[in-house]
Amino acid sequence: GNHKATHSENSQGNKSQHAEEAIFYMNCRAAYLTVLKSSLENIKSKEQLSLVLQQAGRNPSQKTIDKYWTSQTTSLNFDDFCAILKKEKPATKTELLEAFGKIDTDKAGYILHDELYKILTTRGDKMSWEEVSTITKQADFNCSGKLDYNKFCELYLATSEQCCKAARHRLQIDPRLRQQQLGNQPENSSEGVTLPVAKPSPRISRKTDHKLAKGDSRAPSRPSSAQSSKASTSTTVTVGASSSRNTKLIIEPDTMKEWQSAQSRGCFYLEEDGEIISHKYRLHLPQRSAVCVTIKPLNIPQAEGKSCPWLSVDTALFILKENETQENLQLVSFTELQNKEMFGWRGELGSGLYWLLPFTTGCRLRKGKTQITGEAKLVWRDEDGELALTKEFRAALLDIFETIDLDGNGLLSLEEYNFFELRTSGEKCDQEAWAVCKENFEMKKNELTRQGFMDLNLMEANDRDGDPWDLWVTLLSLGYNRALEMTEACPFVIDICAERCKPRIKAISLEAGGSQLSRAVCRAVLNKGEAKVLDGSENIFIYTYRSGSRITSVIENKSENKVIIHVNNEQSKNCLNNRGLTVFAVEVAPKSMMVSQHVMALNEQEEWIYSCVHSLV
């Protein structure tokens, strides 16, 4: 009875979560289709982005717009828009009142118009005198030269909600838009609408990448019992216990001990919206050579009783050849061989420049639901009242140092430190600031030592008189939780050995894989996987490929029309996928390909069965 009750509660919880996701994506689609004709149409300007965000009840500042629309951005698609809305929450009344409260230091409940003009025309996104006058002339919240900001906040929030309601209403009454919303499930279905938790597609979609970037994976699914599928195909793969980690990658020390090598560390970081970013690398080979490339999670020695949750995260490396332009990279190969937690590739590469793009499926590196009770202490005061770092925080900082020390030499160069700065603060340290660091913190050969790194963090704590706020911002951005466990990041190490020349590897950026990586993953599966045509539909193919401990399926739509594919994993056993759902649907644009899902064993010590049915809705 207790078991049934627990199962029922879990089931209700899942339905509630799916319902929330359904409402969220319905609101996203409603706002999007208020400005654009289709969810497959892209946002093409800053102005369009601002307008569509306003339709979703947001009031983006110019700084917010610039964050998502950089100098390199040519367009943003619907997935990008959904990802932005997850990050940019609508302002609450409490937040608005707090902002006004900083101006109203007397807590009188109003702000003089003269003060309002001064602030709004000189600070932040500066408004014109006429724009401010439009606000002060509104009788609902202005009286005797004063603005009643309580009333203003109430009207602002009510107007924002009305805007969202109007978008939803338009979606419901317009048959054309309802069809685009894929709302063709039975009206009386008690199952509701289930949506995939898809990784956001790249923020920057170059014109040459549009065929791939068009895939819209936000379509609602039908209930699994639906009988309206026009065509379907099923795939079953059974994998024995632990067989997915058997030794396949054989590196003979005798034959490779004379080879020249290069190494670099890096890290996968999980964003708030579930997107995964990592370092990207450029590899230079002076001449043609036999090469061995490997990637694996970085094993940082831990204190007794402390685990390394990231060691179970799957890793891969895609090797792309650089041609005339960086936008036209060609897939050479990827690390498909596995030996325990290491993935590798052996082959011959010609001379020239290559890009190495790290990849993880997101099956294991994902947002956790574990509630952390309590918060680790970061600083304390000694008998003399001097601030010091706690033992636990020092241990975490040493682990962070190991992760950001990309060349593993025990020192941080300015370049390595700047990757750390970009991740934690979004800014870079210039040569002048580095020289100041050199005067105040221990360095060797113009590189920061471990002790110098510790002292730098202690100085940050002292700057805020012991307030750990900034320290927590740093820790959380690096994948740590409040218990000082690294649960939302996975440090890794790349090794390259070449027989005839000295390979050189250099970290170039820290960002999402983007369309180049998406294209490479799809192309690898198409090249290596088993292809099945969707029964009854000659233009839709499902490719399935097993590489070591993971299985990936890709949908290729060769037709002239967009298609909706229903994906059902209910017959799979001991599996988890990157979407976090058993049943979902994806919309695939004409003449394009997209990843349906990545799947891994839930428990590698037991047999697992991947059994998936793809159906055309």
Q: How far apart are CA 370 and CA 93, in angstroms?
A: 29
Kindly tell me the sign of the dihedral angle through the C-alpha atoms of 173, 178, 179, 180. positive
Instruction: Tell me which residue has tokens 């990448």.
Output: 209
* pLDDT computed for residue 191 by the predictor: 27
H/E stretch holding 612: strand 608-616
Q: How far apart are CA 112 and CA 131, in angstroms?
A: 16
Classify residue 329: in a domain, yes or no. Answer: no
Classify residue 57: in a domain, yes or no. Answer: yes
* pLDDT computed for residue 111 by the predictor: 86
* pLDDT computed for residue 466 by the predictor: 83
Q: How far apart are CA 381 and CA 95, in angstroms?
A: 33
* CA-to-CA separations, 252 to 227, 233, 316, 320, 501, in angstroms, rounded: 55, 42, 21, 26, 19
Q: Which tokens belong to 486?
A: 């690294």
Domain boundary among 487, 519, 544: 487
Classify residue 580: in a domain, yes or no. Answer: yes
* pLDDT computed for residue 242 by the predictor: 66
Instruction: Tell me which residue has tokens 């040569």.
Output: 431
Q: Are residues 402 and 451 both part of a single domain?
A: yes
Q: Are residues 472 and 533 both part of a single domain?
A: no
Q: How far apart are CA 451 and CA 397, in angstroms?
A: 10
CATH of the domain at 239: 2.60.40
Classify residue 287: in a domain, yes or no. Answer: no
Q: How far apart are CA 353 and CA 375, in angstroms?
A: 46
Q: CA torsion 255→259→264→269, rounded to 10°?
A: -30
Kindly tell me the sign of the dihedral angle through the C-alpha atoms of 418, 419, 420, 423. positive
Domain boundary among 124, 142, 173: 173
Domains identified in the chain, total number? 4
Classify residue 237: in a domain, yes or no. Answer: yes
Q: Are residues 479 and 567 both part of a single domain?
A: no
Q: Are residues 483 and 394 both part of a single domain?
A: yes
Q: Are residues 376 and 477 both part of a single domain?
A: yes
Q: Are residues 121 and 35 both part of a single domain?
A: no
Q: Are residues 575 and 478 both part of a single domain?
A: no
Backbone φ, ψ for residue 346 (5° rounding): -125, 135
* CA-to-CA separations, 548 to 210, 236, 316, 601, in angstroms, rounded: 31, 16, 11, 11
Q: How far apart are CA 389 and CA 561, in angstroms?
A: 60
Judging by DSSP bridges, how do beta strands 563-568 and 583-588 pair with one another?
Answer: antiparallel
Full-model pTM: 0.65
- Residue 353 CA, chain-centre distance (Å), reads 27
Domain boundary among 75, 90, 105: 90
Positions of the chain with pLDDT under 50: 4, 175-229, 244, 247-248, 252-253
Q: Are residues 383 and 472 both part of a single domain?
A: yes
* Cβ atoms < 10 Å from Cβ of 258: 8
Domain that residue 239 falls in? 232-247+528-616
Yes or no: say if 161 and 154 are a contact pair by the CB < 8 Å rule.
Answer: no
* pLDDT computed for residue 153 by the predictor: 86
Classify residue 58: in a domain, yes or no. Answer: yes
Classify residue 595: in a domain, yes or no. Answer: yes
Classify residue 477: in a domain, yes or no. Answer: yes
Q: How far apart are CA 402 and CA 265, in angstroms?
A: 9
Paired with 554 in beta bridges are: 543, 595
Judging by DSSP bridges, how do beta strands 489-498 and 260-270 pair with one another?
Answer: antiparallel
Q: Are residues 582 and 533 both part of a single domain?
A: yes
Q: Are residues 417 and 463 both part of a single domain?
A: yes
Yes or no: say if 585 and 592 are a contact pair by the CB < 8 Å rule.
Answer: no
Q: Are residues 42 and 111 both part of a single domain?
A: no
Q: Which tokens belong to 423?
A: 């991740």
Q: Are residues 408 and 459 both part of a single domain?
A: yes
H/E stretch holding 270: strand 260-270
CATH of the domain at 135: 1.10.238.10
